[in-house]
């Protein structure tokens, strides 16, 4: 019976999430809204199919672990360091201010101060998924605004991880009083430091070795399994051995893998499972929604939205202006952060498990999340009009902001790599090595994508830009820089999914020049139809080489050799078209 419940819960949850996620995506909203609605529809509070909440919640725990693993995997110190002066103080100040504001409002409306603090923490952090989606849709992800917002959100996520570790210590500890809480907090800090040291020193040495040996097998299933096992083992071990949250352990595991050459392949192959289980997390949260409870708490929902849509953006706006950034950057950062998402629900779930938050807290958060996530893209698209309105209504204020701001704009950030010709070489066999050498001799530094981990490790040691990953995955091509490259060269003839590589590259960069290699003449037409500009086949090139050798041995002139080479080449292309 339990097996049937599990299958029905998975089937109903995924099917409802797919249906409502697709609808919300089609109308321009975040799919998270659809997932929450799906949870509402399969809950006991609505007619029709009812999923098993306990099972959905247990499966959602895996989603939380993989979600935190993904945050650690994508956390890059260099990117954060570039905007640290605004992201670090801005995120901390906004989180603390929003927490205080939310706590005071909820306390004024009748909640306990402890519940108000936890609820304030939950609404202080924005959704990574929503923020990156909004920035990407508006082509602002790689601008100054995008870098500030991402760095800001990274700090919020780190602050949330810290809070997740301390909540059980403070509210779940048997020690009472300030001295007891201080002692418990101190012990938690010691455990965290030991865990961090153990994970980065021992894990940083062991995990890459394990992943290297797994990668050498060439098995995609084993590599995916090794990534999942790493995340789960460190997360669970953190709880059992160090008595800290699994979220922190998963985050640290992601950081260790992210510092290795396996980060890109882990993100492209293993983390799609994260998205699937994360969907169940949102579905399980949506199942807690009760319409009757919502109507009874309408005033609390409005107060929560006021903090999210007015209070948080106002604080962020003032911080960015104080740091001498232009008006448009301040408005953009403020508005894109005016929503809540996945970490809000994780905090609320822990608050509920610790018996801190009241029963209607989940209803309030779900309602506020759906509304804020729904209107956030609309508000962000209106930043330009809002800037014009401010300029028209308060020209003196606008001039003052402009005079104070530094010479910083929101134009795309230029890097050394974007200012020079870029080429991407897929495969580093004999042909790939020759092509790479010729490119370097012509002052073109190529980016190499390779699935042999030892080759990638060698290239990285030599100072070459190389990625370990499957080139048929669009995330791999995007990370390698296909969108700003001038040429893509598929140098290996036996790469699986060559047609898909060509299609994905052409989709990311319609202007890129694609040179492909294949074994058989019959494959030339399919690669050209996929979008390749030039295709070389091993059969064809061998035929041309043999023809040229025979003609030279027969005493033919260079003109005759060139003419015969062209004729053979045209014949091979015609045969390829006929086979197609």
pTM of the model: 0.68
Predicted confidence (pLDDT) per residue in 167-197, tens digit: 777 776 555 556 666 776 677 778 778 888 8
Predicted confidence (pLDDT) per residue in 43-69, tens digit: 887 887 888 877 777 777 787 788 778
C-beta atoms surrounding 204 within 10 Å: 15
Q: Is 175 helix (H, G, I), strand (E, B) or coil?
A: coil
* Cα–Cα dist 312/305, whole Å: 10
The angle subtended at Cα 299 by Cα 294 and Cα 302, nearest 5°, is 90
C-beta atoms surrounding 442 within 10 Å: 9
Under 8 Å between Cβ of 530 and 511? no
Output the six-digit token pair for 512. 């890129």
Residues in the chain: 580
* Closest of 75, 76, 124 to residue 98, by C-alpha: 124
Three-state SS string over 358-427 comes to CCCHHHHHHHHHHHHHHHHHHHHHCHHHHHHHHHHHCHHHHHHHHHHCCCCCCCECCCCHHHCCCEEEEC
Under 8 Å between Cβ of 422 and 415? no
Predicted confidence (pLDDT) per residue in 334-393, tens digit: 999 998 877 788 888 888 888 888 878 888 888 888 888 888 888 888 888 888 888 888
- Domain limits of the chain? 2-381, 417-579
Burial class (CB in 10 A: 0-12, 13-18, 19+), 201: exposed
* Closest of 294, 299, 282 to residue 373, by C-alpha: 282
Q: Kindly give the pairing relationship between strand 446-450 and strand 534-537.
A: unpaired
Q: Is 280 helix (H, G, I), strand (E, B) or coil?
A: helix
Determine the distance from the C-alpha atom of residue 88 to the mean position of all C-alpha atoms in its chain, rounded to a whole number: 20
Q: Which CATH number fits domain 417-579: 1.20.1290.10, 3.40.1350.10, 3.40.50.720, 3.10.420.10?
A: 3.40.50.720
Q: Which CATH number fits domain 2-381: 2.130.10.10, 3.30.450.20, 3.20.20.110, 1.20.1530.20?
A: 1.20.1530.20
Is the predicted pLDDT of residue 1 greater than 70, yes or no? no
Predicted confidence (pLDDT) per residue in 524-571, tens digit: 888 888 888 888 888 777 777 787 788 788 877 777 777 777 776 666
């Amino acid at each position: 019976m339990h097996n049937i419940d599990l299958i029905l819960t998975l089937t109903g949850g995924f099917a409802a999430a797919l249906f409502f996620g697709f609808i919300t995506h089609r109308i321009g909203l975040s799919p998270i809204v659809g997932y929450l609605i799906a949870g509402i529809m399969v809950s006991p509070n609505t007619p029709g199919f009812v999923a098993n909440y306990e099972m959905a919640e247990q499966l959602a725990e895996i989603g939380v672990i993989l979600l935190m693993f993904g945050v650690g995997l994508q956390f890059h110190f260099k990117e954060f360091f570039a905007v640290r002066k605004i992201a670090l103080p801005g995120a901390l100040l906004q989180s603390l201010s929003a927490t205080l504001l939310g706590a005071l409002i909820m306390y004024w409306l009748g909640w306990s101060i402890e519940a108000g603090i936890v609820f304030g923490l939950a609404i202080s952090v924005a959704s990574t998924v929503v923020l990156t989606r909004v920035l990407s849709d508006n082509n602002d992800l790689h601008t100054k605004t995008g870098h500030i917002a991402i760095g800001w959100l990274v700090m919020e996520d780190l602050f949330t991880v810290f809070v997740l570790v301390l909540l059980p210590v403070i509210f779940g500890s048997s020690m009472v009083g300030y001295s007891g809480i201080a002692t418990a907090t101190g012990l938690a800090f010691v455990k965290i430091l030991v865990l961090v040291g153990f994970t980065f020193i021992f894990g940083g040495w062991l995990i890459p070795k394990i992943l290297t040996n797994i990668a050498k097998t060439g098995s995609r299933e084993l590599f995916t399994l090794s990534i999942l096992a790493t995340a789960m083992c460190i997360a669970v071990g953190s709880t059992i051995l160090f008595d800290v949250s699994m979220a922190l352990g998963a985050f640290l595991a992601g950081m260790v893998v992210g510092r290795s050459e396996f980060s890109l392949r882990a993100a492209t192959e293993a983390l799609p499972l994260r998205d699937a289980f994360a969907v169940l997390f949102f579905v399980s949260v949506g199942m807690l929604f009760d319409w009757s409870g919502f109507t009874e708490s309408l005033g609390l929902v409005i107060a929560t939205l006021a903090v999210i849509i007015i209070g948080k953006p106002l604080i962020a706006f003032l911080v960015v202006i104080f740091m001498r950034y232009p008006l448009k950057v301040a408005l953009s950062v403020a508005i894109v952060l005016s929503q809540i998402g996945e970490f809000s629900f994780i905090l609320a779930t822990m608050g509920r498990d610790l018996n801190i938050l009241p029963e209607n807290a989940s209803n309030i958060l779900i309602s506020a999340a759906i509304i804020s996530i729904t209107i956030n893209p609309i508000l962000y698209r209106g930043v330009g009009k809002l800037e014009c309105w401010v300029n028209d209504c308060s020209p003196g204020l606008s001039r003052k902001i402009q005079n104070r701001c530094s010479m910083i704009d929101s134009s795309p950030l230029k890097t050394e790599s974007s200012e020079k010709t870029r080429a991407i070489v897929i495969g580093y066999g004999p042909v790939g090595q020759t092509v790479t050498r010729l490119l370097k001799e012509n002052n073109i530094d190529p980016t190499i994508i390779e699935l042999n981990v030892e080759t990638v490790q060698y290239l990285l040691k030599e100072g070459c830009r190389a990625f370990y990953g499957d080139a048929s995955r669009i995330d791999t091509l995007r990370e390698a820089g296909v969108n700003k490259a001038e040429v893509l060269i598929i140098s290996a003839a036996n790469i699986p999914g060559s047609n898909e590589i060509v299609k994905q590259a052409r989709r990311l960069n319609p202007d890129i020049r694609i040179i492909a290699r294949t074994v058989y003449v019959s494959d030339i037409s399919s690669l050209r139809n996929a979008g390749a500009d030039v295709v070389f086949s091993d059969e064809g090139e061998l035929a041309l080489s043999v023809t040229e050798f025979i003609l030279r041995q027969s005493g033919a002139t260079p003109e005759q050799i060139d003419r015969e080479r062209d004729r053979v080449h045209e014949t091979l292309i015609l045969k390829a078209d006929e086979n197609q």
